[in-house]
A and B are shown apart, each in its own frame.
Chain A
Amino acid sequence: MNERNIDPYRKLERIRGRLKEKWIRASERQRAKGKLSAMERLEILLDPGSFVPLQSLVMPMYAEFDEKQADAMGDGIVIGYGTIEGRPVVVFAEDFSYKGGSMGKSHLEKMEWAIKLAIEFGVPLIGLYDSGGARIQEGVHSLTALGGVFFQNVMASGWIPQIAVIMGPCAGGAVYSPALTDFVFMVDKTSYMFITGPKVVKAVTGEDVDSEQLGGASVQTRKSGVATLMAKDDKEALLAVRKLLSYLPSNAGEDPPRVNTGDPWDRIDEELNRIIPADQRKPYDVKVIIKRVFDKDSFYEIQPFFAQNAVVGFARLSGYVVGIVANQPKFLGGVLDIDSSDKIARFVRFCDAFNIPLITFVDTPGYMPGTAQEHGGIIRHGAKVIYAYSEATVPKITVIVRKAYGGAYIAMCSRKLGADVVYAYPTAEIAVMGPEGAIEIIYKKEIEATPPEEREELIRKLANEYREKWSNPYVATASAYVDEVIEPKETRPMLYRTLCTLLKRKKRFSKMPTKRHGNMPV
């Protein structure tokens, strides 16, 4: 009888022991940088004890299995599944402590496998990125594997929610994996994203810039809009992801989870009648309206520091998840420009993909005028808002708060873009343009014929007449472009009843001839 000279159980025990030691070393190395290790991060992200690792013994491309090489095992990335608030998710987490988290072929094929699993299971994918970039020694094998990751990100898009958390460097081609996901979180001061790093920028263009200025969390969340949210450290970022998932269904075939928030649906809020200033030129904060209308503390804002003239985010209405889009008069008067159009269109498409009803609050003086915007392509960017709203088949409710002028009024989920129900406040001004602008065109001759010292008085008088006649909600209600005029204080019960009715409706399908897909002006 052959007796094994190696005890197989002892061998596995030794490997596990070495992996455990490796993660202790990884934690120490990461701590020195103010970061957590891949394993520590997963412990915070997932419900305690729920994580099941997969492929943790995968070796780098050119390496054979050697039980002493615990550092190489897994090739710098952890993948597996676990739960968040009891709901299953698939995760991957890059391990910067092994070769700077460099992405070898094995590493990337694990990442690709994780995404495939998430698609197969129909559960959200959360990726924690912390990598210096492609592993140069594995050259084109790395790059090709990266292509496999991108492809799966695209396949997953619109079927499962994909969330990227950037917790260290994310550079070069690697940035396109997070860029293809739905939400990108970044950690302040320790994470950055860019196509080419400061050294290459300096060598190629002579420009002197550091990583933080080039692609730090602040830049990517405020200026570029690449990232959705910024957190102060690893823990805050991971907890924010947990919170975000509470608003999302596991896949496009499910409804978002309803919870009991304890906020009565029929709450009347007198204060809401006092928020919109009497002077039409005065700004106010639309978030005050949002926070008062929806369930207490339920508003979860997306891209809060990017294109602040538009506000988007999730909230609950008597426990039902809704997606909110609003113009923000506090910034740039609530004008629609290139960035805010992109922000709105992308959010609307996410909500539509994941069965999240849309509630739109309109107060915009129009699309932003000027050469900077025209030359930047406001026409094609602005078109995205119209496209996204028209295409969306989830329940769409619109509330016109104040200004609803010109093309921007039409773009903001107006009747003919398929709004199911349109409400207006008594303060609404729905017209082709603002009174002052309009009368300067209509009464050009009369104004020019008036002595300059009397012009201001004449303009004020004509503007008031115009406002009385045209800039109000009643021209629109008379033609059923608006269904009803409601008081701000009754917004919550009105929205709730409307939403409950619309939720009964089965997903609406287009009666158009079959086509592959539309050609969105992306």
Chain B
Amino acid sequence: MGEEVTSPLSGKVLRINVKPGDAVDDSTSLLVLESMKMEIDIYPSSSGKVKEILVKEGDNVEVGQVLAVLE
């Protein structure tokens, strides 16, 4: 079962830390958003393999927007 990792808040994508195929778990920072003048790590809630990253560095993202998909 795949997981869609959504953005918990609006902000700008500062860095992407993983690429498709990487094995990740709930302590892996998939990417870093900048919001409220803070760097905010985005973690998945389950473990799996990165299927797709749907944003790129510099993108502005909204609350609830899908950032990555795990498989």
Q: Which residues of A are interface residues toward B (Cβ below 8 A)?
A: 222, 280-283, 329-335, 365-366, 368-372, 434, 436-437
CB distance from A210 to the nearest CB of B (A): 11
In the complex, the chain B residue whose C-beta lies closest to that of A213 is B1
| Number of chain B residues close to chain A: CB under 8 A | 15
Task: Give residues 39-61 of B contacting A (CB, 8 Å).
Answer: 39-41, 43, 45
Residues of B within 8 A of A331 (CB): 40-41, 43
Q: A365-B36, A370-B9, A370-B10 are in contact. Are A330 and B64 (CB under 8 A)?
A: no
Contact: A436 with B63, CB < 8 Å? Answer: no
CB distance from A283 to the nearest CB of B (A): 6
Q: A222-B45, A332-B8, A370-B9 are in contact. Are A365 and B63 (CB under 8 A)?
A: no
Contact: B35 with A333, CB < 8 Å? Answer: yes
In the complex, the chain A residue whose C-beta lies closest to that of B43 is A331
Q: List 23 A-B contacts (CB under 8 A).
A: A281-B37, A281-B38, A281-B39, A283-B38, A283-B39, A283-B41, A329-B38, A332-B8, A332-B9, A332-B40, A333-B35, A333-B36, A335-B9, A335-B38, A365-B36, A365-B37, A366-B36, A368-B9, A369-B36, A370-B10, A434-B37, A436-B37, A437-B37
User: Mostly helix, strand, loop or mixed at chain A's interface?
Assistant: loop
Residues of B within 8 A of A222 (CB): 45
CB distance from A201 to the nearest CB of B (A): 19
CB distance from B55 to the nearest CB of A (A): 17
Task: Give residues 12-71 of B contacting A (CB, 8 Å).
Answer: 34-41, 43, 45, 63-64
Residues of A within 8 A of B39 (CB): 281-283, 333
Residues of B within 8 A of A437 (CB): 37
In the complex, the chain B residue whose C-beta lies closest to that of A333 is B38
Which of B40, B41, B63, B64 has the most chain A CB atoms closer than 10 A to its own CB? B40
- 19 further A-B contacts with Cβ under 8 Å, apart from A332-B40, A372-B64, A437-B37, are A222-B45, A281-B34, A281-B37, A281-B38, A283-B40, A329-B38, A330-B41, A331-B40, A331-B43, A332-B9, A333-B35, A333-B36, A334-B38, A335-B9, A335-B36, A366-B36, A368-B36, A434-B36, A434-B37
Which of A282, A366, A372, A434 has the most chain B CB atoms closer than 10 A to its own CB? A372
Q: How far is the CA of A331 from the CA of B10 in the complex (A)?
A: 14
Q: A332-B9, A370-B10 are in contact. Are A365 and B38 (CB under 8 A)?
A: yes
User: Mostly helix, strand, loop or mixed at chain B's interface?
Assistant: loop
CB distance from B11 to the nearest CB of A (A): 10
CB distance from A147 to the nearest CB of B (A): 36
CB distance from A195 to the nearest CB of B (A): 23
Closest 6 CB pairs of A and B: A333-B38, A365-B36, A372-B63, A434-B37, A281-B39, A436-B37
In the complex, the chain B residue whose C-beta lies closest to that of A463 is B37
Q: How far is the CA of A369 from the CA of B39 in the complex (A)?
A: 16
Residues of A within 8 A of B64 (CB): 372
Residues of B within 8 A of A329 (CB): 38
Residues of B within 8 A of A335 (CB): 9, 36, 38
In the complex, the chain A residue whose C-beta lies closest to that of B46 is A218
Residues of A within 8 A of B38 (CB): 281, 283, 329, 333-335, 365
In the complex, the chain B residue whose C-beta lies closest to that of A433 is B37
Residues of A within 8 A of B34 (CB): 281
Q: How far is the CA of A434 from the CA of B36 in the complex (A)?
A: 9
Residues of B within 8 A of A283 (CB): 38-41
Residues of A within 8 A of B45 (CB): 222
In the complex, the chain A residue whose C-beta lies closest to that of B34 is A281
Residues of A within 8 A of B35 (CB): 333
In the complex, the chain B residue whose C-beta lies closest to that of A282 is B39
Q: How far is the CA of A499 from the CA of B41 in the complex (A)?
A: 35
CB distance from B43 to the nearest CB of A (A): 8
CB distance from B47 to the nearest CB of A (A): 12
CB distance from A327 to the nearest CB of B (A): 11
Residues of A within 8 A of B37 (CB): 280-281, 365, 434, 436-437
Q: How far is the CA of A282 from the CA of B39 in the complex (A)?
A: 6
Contact: B63 with A333, CB < 8 Å? Answer: no
